[in-house]
Amino acid sequence: MNKKIFFPLITVMTLALVGIIFVQAFWIKTTLDNKERQFSLNVNQALKSVSEQIQSREMRDYLAVYQKLIDSIGSPKESQLTAVFKYVDRNENTNQTYIYSHGILEEDYNVSPSLFSSESIDTTSIKDYKGIQTTTIIDEAFDREMQNMSSIERLQRVERLSLMDKAKYASVFMELASLKPIHRRLTNLELDFLLQRELGDRDIDIPFQYRVFNGDFATKIGSDDYINLEKFNKYQSPLFVNENGESEFELVIVFPERKLFLRSSLINLIILSLLFTITIIIAFVTTINQIFKQKKVSEIKSDFINNMTHEFKTPIATIKLAIDAIENVNVQNDKKKTSQYLKMIKDENERMNMQVENVLRISQLEKKENIINKIECNAHEIINESLLHLDLLLKNSQALIDVKLDSKKFNFKASYGDFVNVFVNILENSIKYSKNRPEIKIFTYDEDSFFVTEISDKGMGMSSSVKEKIFDKFFRETTGNIHDVKGHGLGLSYVKKIIDLHDGMIYVESKLGRGTTFTIKIPVNS
């Protein structure tokens, strides 16, 4: 993919993903804020309703006591009718006249506030008022027949004036009630019942704690667990409000599980939102990671093709030159030179063939198309065989080889040819990555039930990042130019694969400028 398109596309996708996450977070926060406001509104309405019910109940209690008192007294001490209102209406169809009258009956039972509360010093008598409503019907036809007599039907109804009762008693009873302590005006049982009912009607079914306060002082009315709740949101409402809208007492309620309750209604949506968001993030990261891996593989394969081409160009050119030389008449007559050129062609052909075989061998091992053939092998013989394969290379590089084969358990089942290639590949790397004269040490020893081989050199060494990748296919450490060190990046990958197929282990220790040590452990026959 073109870099001019690739990186801007990644940027746009990243910004879009971040935008989706922010939108989800904003939506969740907005919804929770709306839930919080609705919760606060419902709680405040419930508290207001509870306060009104308590005050109404107290007023009814005083009215019931007052009614009981006047019922026990019997007839009023004094009574008078005031504010009489009359209205006359005539019905032409029935020749009847309707006279409506309405008045207020004031009755004094000589009941004073001191009868309700001993603390009261008010001696003014509480008077009772009743509404009197009378309807009179006069039939004129009957009046004419009976001359001086008339047919009069009177309908009379006496009723209480509820609004007037409230107006005339409210101030008196409020004043009387204010003289009592709060625990005599209200009980925990009543308050708890009203709170549960009102909150339940508003679908607020979570534990709560409450307390009635007189200013900054807590009263006896409240739940026992109302302690150490300063960190929670508090909702309050005045109790026993007087005529001026003032109150000495305030009901305070706290919900310790408020946040959990608010989130519980959205928990499923929040979980789904988080799940989908995490899934998108994982898919996005995985996709980007795969794209980078594919990009890296593409670059590695390009390097591999370039290296393979470079590796083949030299032997092909050498073969061409040898063939051209053989075609020369003077060379054809010289059997020694002809034989020399033919040997050169054969060596270069074998070299190319070996490189192709290595590539095919790795491919077969990866696809598990080729099952290795294990036979009883002597590990020391394998090491010596690998040194023979590298004899010419070792001489040309003037390498110093120190070999100490001290292992006593050197027999195990293995693929002989593959293990020779394992040691050849490692030793070749030790030679190739040595700037000066190569110094290589080969030690073998026993460790429990393992045959152990250490191959160390004093070459260039490698960094930690390179050390983690040396067993990857096509990976090669270079010094800038990909052709300054020959190879395809398949040797150590092949080594790791063969050792794994023999249930063995391989470790690498290396420091830049100090060399590298390969440790191979192979399980041996007991």
328 against 186, higher pLDDT: 186
Whether the per-residue pLDDT at 146 is higher than 50: the answer is no
Contact 240, 57 (CB under 8 A): no
Task: Provide the pLDDT for residue 132.
Answer: 62
Does a structural domain hold residue 65? no
> Strand 217-222 to strand 234-239: parallel, antiparallel, or no bridges (unpaired)?
unpaired
Of 120, 141, 176, the domain-final residue: 176
Band (pLDDT 50/70/90 cuts) for residue 91 is: low
Task: Provide the pLDDT for residue 154.
Answer: 34
| Phi, psi (degrees; rounded to nearest 5) at 238 | -70, 150
HSE (side-chain half, CA atoms, 13 Å) at 481: 5
Q: Clarify whether residues 495 and 379 are in a common domain.
A: yes
**Across all residues in the chain, what is the average pLDDT?**
76
C-alpha 119/C-alpha 180 separation (Å) is 9
**How many other CB atoms sit within 10 Å of the CB of residue 43?**
23
Does a structural domain hold residue 363? no
98 against 87, higher pLDDT: 98
Total domains in the chain come to: 4
Task: Provide the pLDDT for residue 155.
Answer: 38
**How many other CB atoms sit within 10 Å of the CB of residue 46?**
23
Q: Clarify whether residues 440 and 502 are in a common domain.
A: yes
- Dump pLDDT digits (tens) for 378-404: 999 999 988 887 877 788 788 888 999
**How many other CB atoms sit within 10 Å of the CB of residue 302?**
12
Counting Cβ atoms within 10 Å, is residue 494 exposed (0-12), middle (13-18) or buried (19+)?
buried
AA letter at 356: V
Q: Clarify whether residues 107 and 171 are in a common domain.
A: yes
Whether the per-residue pLDDT at 441 is higher than 90: the answer is yes
CATH assignment of the domain containing 509: 3.30.565.10
Contact 172, 115 (CB under 8 A): no
> Strand 249-254 to strand 209-214: parallel, antiparallel, or no bridges (unpaired)?
antiparallel
Q: Clarify whether residues 307 and 341 are in a common domain.
A: yes
Give the global pTM. Answer: 0.45
**H-state helical runs in 179-266:** 182-185, 188-201, 258-264
For residue 482, what are the domain limits? 371-523
> CB under 8 Å to 289, separation ≥6 — which residues?
none
> CB under 8 Å to 218, separation ≥6 — which residues?
211, 212, 226
- Produce one character per residue of 435-455: b if its CB has 16 or more CB atoms within 10 Å, e if not: eeebbbbbbbeeeeebbbbbb
Q: In 3D, which of 137, 131, 130, 129 has the Cα closest to residue 155?
A: 137
Q: Clarify whether residues 45 and 12 are in a common domain.
A: yes
Radius of gyration of the chain (CA): 54
Band (pLDDT 50/70/90 cuts) for residue 178 is: confident
Task: Provide the pLDDT for residue 217.
Answer: 86
Of 176, 191, 219, the domain-final residue: 176
- Dump pLDDT digits (tens) for 194-203: 999 999 998 8
**How many other CB atoms sit within 10 Å of the CB of residue 165?**
16
C-alpha 70/C-alpha 399 separation (Å) is 129
Of 358, 384, 401, the domain-final residue: 358
Task: Provide the pLDDT for residue 161.
Answer: 41
Task: Provide the pLDDT for residue 347.
Answer: 73
Band (pLDDT 50/70/90 cuts) for residue 228 is: low
